[in-house]
């Protein structure tokens, strides 16, 4: 397991899978160990995946200053990894909450990116929040059968009581909504989150002061490399229309939507996912 030392002396780990052109991968969670990404639906068959464990997660060290869990402080970690790898420009993939880290990195270091893939990304960094109505719109696409009717009821309770964050029981009941298929693989993937996520770090990730949306939007316009925002048909975070808004903030941004997929699309149709991402990385939009 290779490691490197980032700007504040914290030792961070990354994991390698596959052979070929390198692809730096930033996990979501927020603050979930990169192991949940697996081989990204077989993308490692043609790429050298470099799966970063963010500070305080997976095999990476804990920072001396816990305020550096805030996402804007982690931009330096991605830049330190790029320099450690000796890459003048890199291809970057980020999932979910990791999309905010990728957006902040792109705004700060636009010249360092060749092609960027944002997979079902949140976009707090550019002030494109997902609304409860959008989340429920996606959830209700599943209505009419179990376990989805029960999951929708639970999700409605969670969103109606957003200030309290929802009960653990309701989150467990709502879990099928985040996957295209609620099969054994999805259930195991969901259950693993309990010991893969640093909850304290997740609470700090998007804390006060993390984002300056006007500055980040201006920075994204300086990114000359191509960007693919990959949404999923059944995902509420983000809906495809919001993903298209995010893609429009880049000079060379494009959006695509994976059919019948949820928030972790590489699990729902690995072949579709890996082929689409590989095609973009090889040939652009």
Task: Express each pLDDT in 220-229 by its tens digit.
Answer: 999 999 999 9
- In angstroms, what CA-CA distances link 103 with 28, 52, 100, 222, 259? 13, 16, 5, 12, 25
Q: What residue has token string 């997660």?
A: 57
Segment 135-158 mean pLDDT: 96
Give the list of residues 6+ apart from residue 208 with CB closer than 8 angstroms, or none. none
Average pLDDT, the chain: 97
- The model's pLDDT over 154-205, given as tens digits with 9 standing for 90+, comes to 999 999 987 667 889 999 999 999 999 999 999 999 999 999 999 999 999 9
Is the Cα dihedral 127, 165, 93, 137 positive or negative? negative
Separation CA 9–CA 194 (nearest Å)? 28
Q: Mind listing the pLDDT tens digit for each residue in 96-129? A: 999 999 999 999 999 999 999 999 999 999 999 9
pLDDT tens digits, residue range 236-251? 999 999 999 999 999 9
pLDDT in tens, 3-14: 999 999 999 999
Please check whether residue 162 is in contact with residue 150, taking contact to mean a CB–CB distance below 8 angstroms.
no
Distance from C-alpha of 211 to C-alpha of 213, rounded to nearest angstrom: 6
Q: Answer whether residue 55 shows pLDDT above 70.
A: yes
Residue 66: half-sphere exposure toward Cβ, Cα within 13 Å: 7
Q: pLDDT value at position 164? A: 66
User: The whole model's pTM is what?
Assistant: 0.97
CA distance 285 to 279: 8
Pairing of strands 47-52, 11-17: antiparallel
Q: In the block, which residue shows the tokens 């149709």?
A: 269
């Amino acid at each position: 397991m290779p490691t490197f030392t980032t700007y504040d002396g914290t030792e961070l780990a990354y994991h390698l899978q596959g052979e070929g052109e390198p692809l730096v991968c930033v996990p979501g969670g927020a603050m979930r160990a990169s192991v949940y990404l697996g081989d990204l639906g077989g993308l490692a068959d043609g790429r050298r995946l470099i799966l970063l464990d963010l500070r305080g997660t997976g095999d990476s060290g804990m920072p001396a200053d816990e305020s550096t869990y805030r996402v804007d402080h982690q931009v330096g970690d991605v830049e330190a990894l790029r320099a450690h790898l000796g890459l003048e420009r890199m291809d970057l993939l980020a999932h979910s909450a990791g999309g905010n880290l990728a957006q902040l990195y792109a705004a700060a270091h636009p010249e360092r990116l060749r092609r960027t893939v944002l997979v079902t990304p949140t976009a707090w960094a550019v002030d494109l929040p997902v609304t409860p109505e959008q989340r429920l719109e996606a959830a209700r696409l599943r209505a009419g059968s179990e376990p989805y009717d029960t999951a929708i009821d639970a999700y409605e309770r969670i969103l109606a009581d957003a200030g309290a964050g929802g009960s653990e029981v309701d989150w467990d009941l709502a879990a099928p909504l985040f996957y295209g298929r609620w099969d054994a693989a999805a259930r195991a993937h969901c259950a693993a989150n309990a010991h893969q996520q640093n909850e304290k770090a997740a609470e700090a990730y998007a804390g006060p002061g993390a984002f300056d949306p006007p500055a980040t939007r201006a920075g994204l316009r300086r990114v000359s490399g191509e960007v693919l925002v990959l949404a999923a048909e059944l995902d509420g975070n983000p809906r495809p229309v919001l993903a298209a808004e995010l893609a429009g903030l880049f000079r060379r941004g494009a959006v695509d939507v994976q059919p019948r997929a949820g928030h972790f699309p590489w699990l729902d149709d690995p072949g579709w996912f890996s082929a689409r991402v590989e095609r973009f990385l090889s040939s652009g939009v």
